[in-house]
Amino acid sequence: MKLPTRAPTAALITASVLASLAAWPAQASSHREAPSIGGMPRVDGTDFYLFSSYEGVAANGTGGRAGYVTLIANYLPLQDAYGGPNYFKLDPNAIYEIHVDNNGDAKEDLTFQFKFSNAFKGIALPIGNQTVPIPLTQAGTVSAPNAAALNVNEKFSLTLVRGDRRTGTATAVANPAGGTLFDKPVDNIGTKTIADYPAYAAQHIYNVTLPGCAMPAKVFVGQRQEAFAVNLGTIFDLVNADVGVITNRSLINAAAANSIQDKNVTSLALEVHKSCLTQGNETVIGGWTTASVRQSQLVNAAPPSGYDTAVKGGGGWVQVSRLGNPLVNEVVIGLPDKDRFNASVPTGDGQFATYVTNPTLPALLSAVLPIGNAAPTNLPRLDLVTTFLTGIPGVNQPANVVGSEMLRLNTAIAPRPFAMQNRLGIVVTQRA
């Protein structure tokens, strides 16, 4: 299972948006992009990656992990690497989902559901003649899953739903021991607590069997370094930098160009064989992520002793986060409709069509950058409709596509080794 490396700089964002607002690699971020989700960071989807696995693949697209598809949903943006003492656990009162449409009808055919829970051990120490609970997440060093020194062990369940996400056939995915819960690695606290974090985290990559799938799969959930490179302050301050600085790729790791290089996210990663994701002769799949919370939230005025006991949820699930193609809700959807987009489903995307056909961001950038009137004038932007809503013919457009916003992948196109990949993809005629 290969996790993504750093994504393009902010320069490519600007250039791409000015040119077409469309041809963007499947690597981008969506931090606090809507008014309501800004107050719910634990369920804020930041990235979605959907690509053919390329680990160990030869130049001809065979060998290694060829035939597999990697799906990665990132949540909880801008995590500080020094976020103690509680760090960044996901919401046990939420449901996190990766959806796959494998017949082009803008409806989910497969949904991978993740739910989280916290096993509180209540580690206490004898202090004088009293036994007193400790105030920290850990009481010593950690090197293995569910280490004895962990005061709180975060776990998750994985369920595969075929059909509608709420009314379809749901089957739990078993862990290697036959149970239904998987351990999630504690966040990267530091080298005194966890001497070798990569080795520790790797112990949480699980081989699993998906119900109804003949090929084995893998799953991992844990904290990862933010893969996107951007100076958020500069970009949203009317792009407050010289164009030459923004477009200088050599600055990708410079603090001035990448203000989030020391931030983390939480990744929900799956590697699934394409035969388990596709349907019939259709080789193109579409994917998007969501997070939902209970409709009612009850705050306890006198929380009982335990862990994370102050808030409880009730009622039906309400979707509050949605992410398919990168940057859509961030810089395409207008401010009045950002919350609506996060709560919407792809079959209802016609209500947002004007934001795609007549985008405002190119005009905004032309007004604040010394580049003249560079905003495209080929309105309505049917090229963006193709890129965002239908897929590109001959590349990633399903045969019977219903226009809808999601990330699309043609699983029939062989992957390329990492060294042969071009970050601009189809823009430079590279289909894989």
**Cis peptide upstream of residue 4 (ω within 30 degrees of 0):** no
Angle formed at CA 423 by CA 418 and CA 427, multiple of 5 degrees: 130
> What is the pTM for the complete model shown?
0.92
Cβ atoms of 79 and 223 within 8 Å: the answer is: yes
Residue whose structure tokens are 């905004």: 364
Query: DSSP states of 364-413 as a string?
Result: HHHHHSSS-S-S---SS-HHHIIIIII--TTTT--TT------EEEETTS
SS3 318: strand
pLDDT at 432: 62
SS3 content of the chain, % helix, strand, coil (to 5): 20, 30, 50
Cβ atoms of 75 and 7 within 8 Å: the answer is: no
Q: Compute the distance between CA of residue 57 and CA of residue 237 in angstroms, rounded to an integer.
A: 42
Cβ atoms of 230 and 259 within 8 Å: the answer is: yes
Residues of the chain with pLDDT under 70: 1-29, 246, 252-257, 424, 426-432
Query: DSSP states of 51-87 as a string?
Result: EE--TT--TTS-STTTTEEEEEEEEEEEEETT-TTT-
Q: Compute the distance between CA of residue 198 and CA of residue 257 in angstroms, rounded to an integer.
A: 26
The packing angle between helices 10-19 and 361-368, to 10°, is 110
User: Which secondary-structure segment (H or E) carries 342?
Assistant: helix 338-343
Burial 43-52 (b: 16+ CB within 10 A, else e): bbbbbbbbbb
Q: Compute the distance between CA of residue 311 and CA of residue 241 in angstroms, rounded to an integer.
A: 43
Q: What does the DSSP 8-state code read for residue 19?
A: H
Q: Cα-flanking dihedrals φ and ψ of residue 47, to 5°?
A: -150, 155
Cα–Cα nearest to 6, from 190, 263, 199, 184: 263
Return the number of other C-beta atoms located less than 10 Å from residue 80's C-beta.
11
pLDDT at 259: 76
Return the number of other C-beta atoms located less than 10 Å from residue 61's C-beta.
18
E strands, 244-346, in order: 263-273, 284-299, 311-323
Q: Compute the distance between CA of residue 117 and CA of residue 277 in angstroms, rounded to an integer.
A: 28
pLDDT at 429: 60
Cβ atoms of 149 and 139 within 8 Å: the answer is: yes
- The tens digit of pLDDT for each residue in 252-278 reads 666 666 778 889 999 999 999 999 999
Q: Compute the distance between CA of residue 239 and CA of residue 203 in angstroms, rounded to an integer.
A: 42
SS3 229: coil
Cβ atoms of 33 and 258 within 8 Å: the answer is: no
pLDDT at 422: 80
Q: Compute the distance between CA of residue 310 and CA of residue 304 in angstroms, rounded to an integer.
A: 8
Map out the domains of the chain as residue ranges. Answer: 10-428
Q: Compute the distance between CA of residue 29 and CA of residue 229 in angstroms, rounded to an integer.
A: 9
pLDDT at 10: 36
Residue whose structure tokens are 């809808």: 404
